Amino acid sequence: MKWRKFNGETIEHNIVDEVEQLIIREIQAGNKLKVCIGTDSQVTNRVTEFATVIVFVRQKRGGFMLISSEKTKYQFAIKERMLCEVSKSIEIAYQLCELLDKYDVDLEVHADINTNPSFKSNSALSEAMGYILSMGFVFKAKPEAFASSYCANKMVH
């Protein structure tokens, strides 16, 4: 996966190394961090674009994010696409969890899945929640899942 900063600057080295450098910088600046990972997708003209974000939330001091996006022509059913989003978030969370534990940084995995049964994405809620929780991660769904529902959403629209 290729990663970039919000300003478009490409991250040249390994994402784990980049995140470690960012954590060290923030700790040295006196900030307490929480990391939220989320993915959203958008289908346009039979192309599905996914955006995964790593959001660094500074306690009472704003935050910043890193972004990775990719496109595919594969045609997903809605439930399959929701679970693919979750899978992309878990993949990154899994890569970072050891590092985050080392620096005592809390981690949440956010799913762009509505808790309201009248929305189509709700069909994937129980599987997504089970997937994330079984991996040992903290799970957030809409409306609390800002990393996927807001941050990643802005990257695919």
Q: How far is CA 44 from the centre of its chain?
A: 21
Confidence (pLDDT) at 1: 84
pLDDT at position 70: 96
User: Which residue's structure tokens are 């929701």?
Assistant: 82
Q: How confident is the model at residue 157 (pLDDT cuts 50, 70, 90)?
A: confident
Q: Residues 43-80: pLDDT tens digits?
A: 999 999 999 999 999 999 999 999 999 999 999 999 99
Catalogue all structural domains in the chain, each as residue range(s) with its CATH number: 3-156 (3.30.420)
Spatial neighbors of 50 by CB under 8 A, at least 6 apart, are 39, 40, 41, 69, 70, 71, 72, 84, 85, 88, 156
Total H helices, total E strands in the chain: 5, 7
Name the nearest CA neighbour of 54 among 153, 148, 154: 148
